Structure 1
Amino acid sequence: MTAANEYRTKTCAEISEDDIGQEVRAAGWVETIRDHGGIIFIDLRDHYGVVQVVVHEECLLEGVTRECVISVAGPVVLRSEDTYNSKIATGTVEIRASSLTVLGKCVNSLPFEISAAADVKEDIRLRYRFLDLRNPGLHSRIVLRSRFIAFLREKMQKLGFLEVQTPILSASSPEGARDYLIPSRKHRGRFYALPQAPQIFKQLLMVSGFDRYFQIAPCFRDEDSRADRSPGEFYQLDFEMAFATQEEVFAVAEEVLSEAFSHFSELPVSAPPFPRIPYHDAMLKYGTDKPDLRNPLEIIDISDLFVETGFAPFRMKTVRAICVPDCAGQPRSFFEHMLNFAMSIGMKGLGYIKVDENMNYLGPIDKFLSDEQRLELKLRAGLKPGCVLYFIADRRDLAPKMAGQIRTELGQRLGLLKEGFRMCFITDFPMYEAEEETGKIIFTHNPFSMPQGGLKALEEKDPLDILACQYDIVCNGVELSSGAVRNHDPEIMLKAFEIAGYEEAEIIEKFSALYSAFRYGAPPHAGMAPGVDRMLMLITGEQSIREVIAFPMNSNAQDLLLGAPGIVSEAQLRETHIKIR
């Protein structure tokens, strides 16, 4: 800061022992006021930090309240050693106020204590977000967000990627989540849509001859909120590469993410190359396509052992098992908790056997096991003294997911999760699935992905056996990104959509830009888009994505600060040819 500034010559954090004896001016918010019998102490806070101000003349404090904005001038003095404050960087010095000016009054009583904002009901925090953002914890996370995005941008540029901004006003997409629609004033009865992702535009950039594209892209989806998903808008590191294979995309993602997480966290981070786990294997071993690899427990399939069993709950069912080492000695309450949890997720029960020190199996299920089954369980599950083998049996579509939830609960309840960030790629997703109610063949994920095996696979294989060149990055059980090798061939594109029930005319109408562009020479291309908000949530250890966003909506997709969505005037509705019904 220069001396010419009338409000401050130094920020609060800049004041140090080097300034002792020097006259300074500082400005900020009054965090606390403490009266020690004629001597008043103020903690003054700005964007950079906190400094203590000591006031000997009470008349200087006229109109001063907590959270008002002041400018204070005076010499910097050394605090007595017994009053040092190690919690702040300026804890050995203070400003002895010779003058004080109120710059911004705080005339209302505070709806909550700034220092305790994190414990306040979320809707109140969001209604007064400008106060909430004064809390050092949230404030520092927004600063971290800025630094994190700057790091990503610099890294991508070093890797030869060109930053290009794609349109915000676009056309509605017939695939994916719900669009946010914007009525057109000039074109009656027609609508723009906010982009769910820059998907089509970035593919068109590849067709246009650009080689490596990226942007910190805003995306808009009318989705319900979750802890790791903000309704309305979110940001992603969107990138695409021409003449690139899946492995080349992986190499970029591994370098960028491992360096970003390592730079902004002291916890261990997966080193490249990240594990590649096929979707089928992930569903079998972890019961989810978003596995938390910090959890060492794995699931095995033992359905074949119980096809003709006398134990009715297992007969002709999909049976999964989880071996938990050193668990047999847990108290009875532990097993009761696991049973209650199983019932809460829709299971009818949760069978298990304990293995004692002599390798005897203990538990009601043991009497239904033959010697051959006991031996096979020992070999497949790696049973050892002191372990517990949990059984999960249900329909083919339910058992894997339930086993995954049991695995997660066991890992968390037993404290098995290892420290750090464990990343992996989930690969080889099914291209199609059968709709549950109608049996109709539909796309599983991104319809613009290249099918593995190309046109030949589409023409010769059962659609449910076709795999796509699609992949996700997962970190600690959170999906950071999805991506794909794109389908750049119009003939393959037509066939892929035909299997999902689209007529050629419909494809040409709905995806006219891509279809047309691909007929003018399109290079092979691939990419992905890691979520910025989710990465920051993991790095900061927060449980909600709203803790790393400056002005988020609440879980009901409302902006409580500005009152959105709000009512507009009849004149505005008429201008855009809208009638509320």
Structure 2
Amino acid sequence: MKRTHTCGELTLDNKGEKVILQGWVKKNRKLGALTFIDLRDRYGTTQLLIDESSQKKFPEIKSEFVIEITGEVLERKSKNPDLKTGEIEVKVINLIIINEAKLTPFEIKDGLEANEDTKMTFRYLDLRREEMQKNLLIRSQVNKIIRDYYHRLNFIEVETPIFGKSTPEGARDFLVPSRVNVNKFYALPQSPQLYKQLLMIAGMDRYFQIAKCFRDEDLRIDRQPEFTQLDMEMSFATPEDIQNNIENLLAEIIFKVKNIKIKTPLPRITYQEAISKYGIDKPDLRFSLEINDVNDIFKSSEVNLFCNLKKNEKIRAIKVDSLLAKKDLEQLTEVAKQNSLVNLPFLKYSNNEWTGSLAKNLSDSEKQQLLKKFEIKGDCTILFAVGDFDISSRGLGAVRNEAAKILKLYKPEEINLLWVVDFPLFEFSEEENRYVAAHHPFTQPKEESLQDFDKNKSTALAAAYDIVMNGFEIGGGSQRITNENIQKRMFKAIEMSNQTVEDNFGWFINAYQYGAPYHSGCALGIDRIVMILTQASSIREVIAFPKNSNGIDPMTNAPDLVSTKQLDEINLKLK
């Protein structure tokens, strides 16, 4: 290359050398007879010096111009300890403008508060910012660590198809019409699930890939219509083998990226414990704030809210070691309502006095029991939810997370990992009025549920596991069904007809008749992991060209209309 160094490379060891640099003009400022230019590339920034005698022979330079300079490395009189190149500057001998630049729609700087759609419309400019480039560099580093780790363990990297078959169950598919096969459609993969199981039948033994996946679902800060996951599978492996493999990988990633040592083996809690204590199946354990049942305390209560409970209703509560301000309570109440709770009654305790919306009819016995139950030793606020166990639990789970943010109960740079195990095998779909597979219909029931999982669906447990990082589910997996009889029972349990099974999965089920090892696997969401490691506000900040919250790319305006000719070619007509 023509350049001799990058803009983040020169030090005092290069003093006196003649160098060629190329990059973008970050800043241009005049101090008396001297002009200083900060020249930037993805490696860093170097200060350029143009003296009075040279100013007239060089063209006018503006921000974001792409230039090439030849110059001599000098020691800076006023050094910048915050800059890698802060001990030197380059005196410009010759300067060439490679390309000029218009005035940018926003300033290229970190901490930018411009409208998100504006930044995404000009994503190529947004990506010039140092913090955005750092995010992509960390993402690249994570991908390399993953590949090095699995190649070291003798895994085979295999690419599976993007164009596949649409199947029932799971999230909504993205469909792609086939021009050659009239009126037929491909589906983009929600995951490589079936293909990786076929690779185990094929004798690949240990497989992984960094795979693109697609789901047509509502978006939020940790979801995109297209996302990237580490997909892996092992033959002759139990769930414990997979969990050990994944947590060792994550420990390596976190140490190499953040220099934080993660203690393994990671904690494991059951799904039921997670819901009961934290109200969510992906609990953030950087803080406690456990949810408690308090029905026993209020079984003879005169508090109106607790007097006329229905048979299956629960009174659940969390204690916050702070006297929450009115605005904080209003904020938490809004979160509660967004999560199906009618209201968020509360009690405050300070200086042996009880106040709050429930305090008026609180008996002395109830006060003493609350002090004992929550081990109250100082000022606190207790937040309550009344109703169905699942609804009240999940509502308080959301309140718990919001309270931790308000009170800053954790450090943003802290990393907490755990496994959630013993998931339900099924979940009831109100929309379809039937039980559906909680994960997918190829998930092996746990040993204790094998005998009756298709009869006692509400209590059947799956040999499935999720891994959680800082309150985000970053991955999950299971042991797979390889027994033909168990698989038939599973399809029958979710009321899938023999014809539907044959039409959608016949090709897959047939493969198991030719000798299959037992196998287990897992998938990790790389976007979410990098989002947490970089402390980004959403996964959009760690994806080079993401879609906005409406699933639109403001830069290209995708998705967009297509011509009638294109529709005719694939035999489609718009309604």
TM-score w.r.t. structure 1 length?
0.92
Residue 20 (structure 2) aligns with: 25
Is 1:283 the counterpart of 2:278 in the alignment?
Answer: no
What is the deviation of 1:428?
A: 1.1
Residues 166 and 336 (structure 1), Cα distance of their counterparts in 2 relative to 1, 3 Å cut: closer
Matches within 5 A, 1:149-548: 149-230=143-224, 232-266=225-259, 268=260, 270-307=262-299, 309-314=301-306, 315-316=309-310, 317-325=313-321, 327-328=322-323, 335=329, 338-339=332-333, 342=336, 345-355=339-349, 365=358, 368=361, 373-374=366-367, 376-417=369-410, 420-437=414-431, 439-453=433-447, 455-459=450-454, 461-548=455-542
Secondary structure at the residue paired with 1:206?
helix
What is the deviation of 1:570?
A: 2.9
Q: Work out which of the residue numbers 9, 17, 31 in structure 2 matches 1:14.
A: 9
Asked whether the 8 Å contact 2:28–2:61 carries over to 1, the reply is no
Secondary structure at the residue paired with 1:44?
strand
What is the deviation of 1:387?
A: 3.9
What is the deviation of 1:469?
A: 1.1
Residue 553 (structure 1) aligns with: 547
> After alignment, is 290-299 or 216-225 more displaced?
216-225
Residue 96 (structure 1) aligns with: 91
Amino acid at match of 1:318: K
Give structure 2 stretches of 5+ with no counterpart: none
Residue 58 (structure 1) aligns with: 55
Residues 346 and 433 (structure 1), Cα distance of their counterparts in 2 relative to 1, 3 Å cut: closer
What is the deviation of 1:507?
A: 0.8
Amino acid at match of 2:402: E
Residues 31 and 121 (structure 1), Cα distance of their counterparts in 2 relative to 1, 3 Å cut: same
Identical counterparts, % of pairs = 38
Amino acid at match of 1:571: K
Q: RMSD of aligned C-alpha atoms? A: 2.3
What is the deviation of 1:260?
A: 0.7
Amino acid at match of 1:424: L
What is the deviation of 1:366?
A: 5.2
What is the deviation of 1:118?
A: 2.7
Give structure 1 stretches of 5+ with no counterpart: none
> After alignment, is 374-383 or 418-427 more displaced?
374-383
The whole-number CA distance in structure 1 between the counterparts of 2:381 and 2:217 is 40
The whole-number CA distance in structure 2 between the counterparts of 1:270 and 1:302 is 35
The whole-number CA distance in structure 1 between the counterparts of 2:244 and 2:363 is 49
The whole-number CA distance in structure 1 between the counterparts of 2:327 and 2:105 is 42
Is 1:75 the counterpart of 2:72 in the alignment?
Answer: yes
Secondary structure at the residue paired with 1:147?
helix
Secondary structure at the residue paired with 2:166?
coil
Residue 34 (structure 1) aligns with: 29
> After alignment, is 49-58 or 560-569 more displaced?
560-569
Deviation track 1:277-319 (CA, whole Å, cap 9, x = no partner) reads 1111111100111100011111111234445544342223311
Asked whether the 8 Å contact 1:63–1:105 carries over to 2, the reply is no
TM-score w.r.t. structure 2 length?
0.93
What is the deviation of 1:363?
A: 5.2
Residues 85 and 463 (structure 1), Cα distance of their counterparts in 2 relative to 1, 3 Å cut: same
Residues 356 and 53 (structure 1), Cα distance of their counterparts in 2 relative to 1, 3 Å cut: closer
The whole-number CA distance in structure 1 between the counterparts of 2:367 and 2:157 is 60
What is the deviation of 1:362?
A: 5.3
What is the deviation of 1:384?
A: 3.4
Asked whether the 8 Å contact 1:269–1:420 carries over to 2, the reply is no
> After alignment, is 396-405 or 472-481 more displaced?
396-405
What is the deviation of 1:49?
A: 1.2
Deviation track 1:14-51 (CA, whole Å, cap 9, x = no partner) reads 22212222211111111111122332111111221111
Residues 499 and 304 (structure 1), Cα distance of their counterparts in 2 relative to 1, 3 Å cut: farther
Is 1:87 the counterpart of 2:82 in the alignment?
Answer: yes
The whole-number CA distance in structure 2 between the counterparts of 1:337 and 1:554 is 26
The whole-number CA distance in structure 2 between the counterparts of 1:105 and 1:385 is 64
Secondary structure at the residue paired with 2:389?
coil
Residues 562 and 331 (structure 1), Cα distance of their counterparts in 2 relative to 1, 3 Å cut: closer
Deviation track 1:293-348 (CA, whole Å, cap 9, x = no partner) reads 011111111234445544342223311121334x35x5566556545654565544
